[in-house]
Amino acid sequence: MKVCFETFGCRLNRAEALEIEAAFLARGWTRTERHDDADMIIVRGCSVTARAQADCERLIAHIRNKYPFKRVVVTGCIKNHSNERWLKDLVTGQGPAPTRTARAYLKIQDGCSGQCSFCIVPTFRGAAKSVPFDDVVAGAKRFLDAGYREIVLTGCSLSQYADGGHRLADVLAAIADIPGYSHRVRLGSVEPVAAAMDVVEAMAERENVCRFLHLPVQSGSGRMLTAMRRPYSVKDVDTLVKKAVSAMPEISVGCDMMSGFPGESDMDHLATMAMIKRLPFSNAHVFPYSERPGTPAASLDDSVPPSLRSERAHDIADAVAKKRADFAGHFRGRVVKIVVEDSGTLAGWTSEYLWCRLSRAFAEARVNSLSGRTTFPRKSIVAMRVTEVKGDSLRGVPV
């Protein structure tokens, strides 16, 4: 029997999809990338934005129309999803999921106990719940034993991790400190709340924690953060970022930014642009606000025209893109470490979440001298000296 997977959305969705894949493969199923070759197609959806939901629904409709006699299972954060009980029963937790990237996604938390006015996710995932601390560490060891050298911690709201007195910083430290492996740990998105301050300290104390901190900020306007019911202030964001940069000067700081929330004025947008200017954001996920039926924000007055939402999103994205290119430029001549995603071209992500690949000249010489033999296995960590910077991507040679 063959199964095909289509996954939308965040790192958490990917981690969960890979758990399901592992369970199917453990029971003798074969994974295929082709819909026409599959006996079952599992779509893990996302409804965090209207566009994400529309993309999911478009693919689901296409599959069902083209293959009316195939079993299509819709799961994840999307309306009208199938009962997942039988899928969850398949997940034994006896081995690591076979990720399609060289990095392992480790789910440590699910759900959210926040009450943000725009967010539909708690409707699908419920209140915050954490994977037991010992199970998290055991899961990380299984990934390391399987040859993965970067573990990405995923969750719906990582800052809400709590189990038996352990918090997110404890999880990060425990996995980074696992002895006997040359590995590194990367955090998914972390809200700029008190728990993140402890995380910064744990990061700074360990060289094998990736120098990358992604914050779902959403707005640089305090008025908008209040309207969104976010659990932090503009001052909290500034304080956290400044602490991170002070402790780790070369850290890459990313953010989520939402444009056009109901009632957002020109002054609110300028406040967001001012935050982008004063803080060293080198990565951003920017998206226009979209009404999610069933959320408090969907019924708010003073809607921002969609065209203005998009215009403001472009302003934010363009500003961060310039800062990202400047940030990448600082690495020319320096040594970075990548986890090899593609052993043929020797390419992968640096600790700071910059894409780095083998320089063209060195690649040609390597092919001529080695006849194309691979000397750097996929998943391995390789040190690269950066010789060129093209936009926000790096090229280099192995050290």
Q: Domain of 51: which CATH number?
A: 3.40.50.10330
Proportion of the chain above pLDDT 90, given as a percent:
61
**Are 382 and 234 in the same domain?**
no
Of the candidates 105, 95, 179, 207, the one whose C-alpha atom is nearest the C-alpha of residue 142 is 95
Give the pLDDT band (50/70/90) at residue 367: low
Give the residue numbers spanning the domain of 348.
335-398
- 64: exposed, middle or buried (Cβ count in 10 Å: 0-12, 13-18, 19+): middle
**Are 147 and 281 in the same domain?**
yes
**Are 113 and 16 in the same domain?**
no
**Are 303 and 353 in the same domain?**
no
Section 254-272 average pLDDT? 97
Q: Which residue, 71, 89, 107, sits at the end of a domain?
A: 89
**Are 77 and 110 in the same domain?**
no
Whole-number Å distance between alpha carbons of 164 and 184: 25
Structural tokens at position 247:
């402790």
Domain count, the chain: 3
Q: Which residue, 314, 329, 344, sits at the end of a domain?
A: 329
Whole-number Å distance between alpha carbons of 24 and 29: 5
Section 251-275 average pLDDT? 97
- 230: exposed, middle or buried (Cβ count in 10 Å: 0-12, 13-18, 19+): buried
**Are 321 and 347 in the same domain?**
no
Whole-number Å distance between alpha carbons of 230 and 113: 12
**Are 27 and 156 in the same domain?**
no
Q: Which residue has the higher pLDDT, 176 or 5?
A: 176
**Are 290 and 218 in the same domain?**
yes
**Are 123 and 173 in the same domain?**
yes
**Are 226 and 259 in the same domain?**
yes
Element containing residue 307 per DSSP (H, E): helix 306-329
**Are 66 and 175 in the same domain?**
no
Q: Which residue has the tokens 């780790």?
A: 248
- Longest CA–CA separation in the chain, Å: 67
**Are 170 and 310 in the same domain?**
yes
Q: Residue 91 pLDDT more than 50? A: no
Give 265-285 pLDDT, tens digit per residue: 999 999 999 999 999 999 999
Give the pLDDT band (50/70/90) at residue 94: very low
Q: Buried b vs exposed e over 117-135: b needs ≥16 C-beta within 10 Å? A: bbbbbbebbeebbbbebee
How confident is the model at residue 21, as a pLDDT? 77
How confident is the model at residue 90, as a pLDDT? 47
User: What is the side-by-side strand order in the sheet with 212-218?
Assistant: 212-218, 252-259, 281-288
Least confident of 37-46, 93-102, 333-342: 93-102
Whole-number Å distance between alpha carbons of 7 and 120: 18
Domain-located, residue 94:
no
Helix 168-176 and helix 194-204, axial crossing angle in degrees, nearest 10: 20
Domain-located, residue 62:
yes
Least confident of 2-11, 125-134, 275-284: 2-11
Q: Which residue, 40, 70, 89, sits at the end of a domain?
A: 89
Identify the CATH number of the domain in which residue 295 sits: 3.80.30.20
Section 357-379 average pLDDT? 69
Give the pLDDT band (50/70/90) at residue 11: confident
Q: Residue 372 pLDDT more than 80? A: no
Domain-located, residue 138:
yes
Q: Residue 93 pLDDT more than 50? A: no
Whole-number Å distance between alpha carbons of 14 and 341: 17
Of the candidates 154, 236, 160, 225, the one whose C-alpha atom is nearest the C-alpha of residue 189 is 154
Name, in order, each residue with C-beta under 8 angstroms of 308's C-beta and a sequence gap of 6 or more: 260
Q: Which residue has the higher pLDDT, 386 or 98?
A: 386
